Structure 1
Amino acid sequence: MISEFQDLSDKIDRLAQLTQSLRAENYLLRQANSLLSAENQEFKERLVQAQYRVEALLAELPLPEAPAPEDDADEANEATQ
């Protein structure tokens, strides 16, 4: 009977140690998650800023000129010859 209580006590001790270990791990994971979330937010903001800069540069570029209809006819004639 005493050995059964000792076994139960040992199991309770192991459970308490495991609980403490998991709490410590959970705390570290929450810290890491918080840091990664902040870093992710910074990357998103940088991506949006880069997108605005690219769009501004594209808006400054001149539109491509459409080829003259005569040029198309000349090219078609040269391709068939």
Structure 2
Amino acid sequence: PTSTSPEKRTSITIPTISKQTNTMMITCSKCFRLNNPNARFCDWCSAYPDHASTSTQCTKCHTNNDSFAKFCSTCGCVLEPPLHIIDTRL
């Protein structure tokens, strides 16, 4: 037996995360979570974010590049990732 009544459709809204482009993120000095560049404290552990790690300097031409870049935007040289110092006393 086939139903002849129309189906009741319900619309739902799915929240989306907008992808921000050209946004520099800062790394928390304690838990290394990425935070917004204007954050005064980490949104995960409340420590002070490390504002110094927002860029990586090219060793060849000394251009400041995005901290997640693998290659220099000026000369194309391979960028070394910044070192993270981990405090073992935590």
Q: What's the TM-score, normalizing by structure 1?
A: 0.27
Larger CA Rg, structure 1 vs 2: 1
Answer 1 or 2: higher relative contact order, Cα 8 Å, separation at least 6.
Answer: 2
